[in-house]
A and B are shown apart, each in its own frame.
Chain A
């Protein structure tokens, strides 16, 4: 399984089925939270996650597909679109340099 240290994260891709709805919403929220640590947050449809994506954030129902599309990336699944513990944990890992595993 790919893993990455929080301090090495330069980009985060939020993926959803169409890359137009929920991922855009989350992206605008996470940009504010993660931008200050120098992380670029973008959104994409699952089917076209960019090849250089380091960390992919998507709903757990889509995580398998994300893993098969982007085997090189660390896929972090979440359950809730708002206030999921995965978001806070991700921010903490990026801030303090913990390991993020997919």
Chain B
């Protein structure tokens, strides 16, 4: 069964759930990427091993990571659940988790922010009936203030240590994978997950919190390169440009620019969904890129978002550019080579449905109940119009 079919048929409910959960997790991080990059730049510039070591300016680095970023995440997570009041109570409650742990509590903020906001939402429903005219502001402010204070204490005593232990365990797990050069195996899950539009969930929902913690200890993290390497997608696109179905080739150069320079990886997902076997090329590229990064000790100081080569070079620590470029280059070459073989170097690729996998997805009743009676021409291959 091809990936397209899996996505559209049996996997649809599962996929939708994972996408929704993942987009909530990613949604707490993504609006704050700018702040994470600001912190990454300050770190890369002013820490003792940075470009312009400066003890005075470097004092900003630690509080920014320990307080600002988790509080922004908690605020955003709270806002998603219960608007402005959820945002405020989420941030207030999260301070307990932050001071209760000795590592940056981004994960703790992702738990505490929405949780506190949910509590506030319930509390607001409860107090709705108690409000006498003129007392709304008093009740609103003090219900939030009291809940925020209580949850801050609970976070300090209870949640902080637990999340702290979980973060540490996850960190050890990552160390284990890196030390034994097993990290490339995660490409087996990451690359297919990406093209099923779980890219943000994986990168920002899971990897960014872990990797940011690692940077605070090691000065850089290879984890930032797991999902963001533009190499695998670039390799697939170039193979598609040279050996893909002829009618598709003209659209690829523009996609290459948007992907590699603009960093919008989504642009290459449809090409893989169209020729699902190309996922093997992306996995091979991703894995070999990570293997290269481990071998040369490459890492980044902040999340390169969007995953453009420009963003990559901007968040590379001093002295790390050759290693990072090597990881991108190797990933591109391997992905290109494998994808080219899979496309048979262009033989018999004159029309779109030459591929048995893609063919079964397109011609069978594969679009099924999941995607419904889609009227626009995209789900089927016919260039039909959306009802026009």
Interface residues in chain A, defined as those with a beta carbon under 8 Å from any beta carbon in chain B: 1, 3, 6, 16-18, 20-22, 25, 45-47, 59-65, 67-68, 76-86, 88-90, 92-93, 96, 98-102
Contacts and interface: CB of A to CB of B under 8 A. Distances in A.
Interface stretch (B12-20, B294-302, B338-346): B12-20
Nearest to B377: A85
Interface string B360-383: 000000000011111111110001
Given A18-B200, A76-B386, A82 B251 contact: yes
B7 interface: yes
Nearest to A1: B373
A81 to B, nearest CB: 5
B371 A60 contact: yes
A18 B27 contact: yes
Q: How large is the interface on B (under 10, 10 to 19, 20 to 34, 35 or more residues)?
A: 35 or more
Contacts of A101: 375, 386-387
A63 B371 contact: yes
A53 B132 CA distance: 37
Contact of B387 (A17, A59, A60, A99): A99
B378 A79 contact: yes
Contact of A25 (B19, B258, B273, B387): B258
Contacts of B19: 17, 62, 65
In the A-B complex, the 4 residue pairs with the smallest Cβ-Cβ separation, listed nearest first, are: A98-B388, A89-B385, A93-B388, A79-B378
Contacts of B269: 59, 61
A61 B196 CA distance: 7
Contacts of B264: 21-22, 25, 81
B388 A61 contact: no
Contact of B262 (A17, A25, A61, A62): A25
B67 interface: no
Main secondary structure of the interface of B (DSSP, over half): helix
Contact of A85 (B31, B262, B371, B385): B385
Contact of B371 (A3, A22, A64): A64
A99 B16 CA distance: 28
A84 B378 contact: yes
Interface of B: 7, 12, 16, 19-20, 23-24, 26-27, 30-31, 196-197, 199-201, 251, 254-255, 258, 262-264, 266-267, 269-270, 273-274, 306, 370-379, 383-388
A82 B267 contact: yes
B84 to A, nearest CB: 15
Contacts of B26: 17-18
Nearest to A58: B197
B27 A63 contact: no
Contacts, number: 132
Nearest to A57: B376
Give the interface centre of B24, B197, B258, B273 by most chain A CB atoms within 10 Å.
B197
Contacts of A78: 376, 378
Contact of A59 (B270, B374, B383, B384): B270
A21 to B, nearest CB: 5
Given A67-B372, A82-B251, A99 B23 contact: no
Contacts of A93: 385-388
B254 to A, nearest CB: 6
A71 B161 CA distance: 42
Nearest to B306: A21
A85 B42 CA distance: 45
Contacts of A63: 371, 374, 379
A68 B273 CA distance: 23
A16 B306 CA distance: 14
A77 B197 contact: no
A33 to B, nearest CB: 15
Given A20-B31, A21-B266, A68-B16, 14 more contacts: A18-B200, A22-B267, A47-B24, A61-B7, A65-B19, A76-B386, A79-B274, A82-B255, A83-B251, A84-B378, A90-B386, A92-B388, A100-B386, A100-B388
A77 B376 contact: yes
23 contacts: A1-B372, A1-B373, A17-B19, A17-B201, A18-B200, A21-B263, A22-B264, A22-B266, A62-B19, A64-B16, A64-B370, A65-B16, A76-B376, A79-B273, A79-B274, A82-B255, A82-B267, A90-B376, A93-B385, A98-B387, A99-B387, A101-B386, A102-B375
B110 to A, nearest CB: 16
Which residue, of B264, B266, B377, has the highest number of chain A Cβ atoms within 10 A? Answer: B266
Nearest to A90: B386
B126 to A, nearest CB: 26
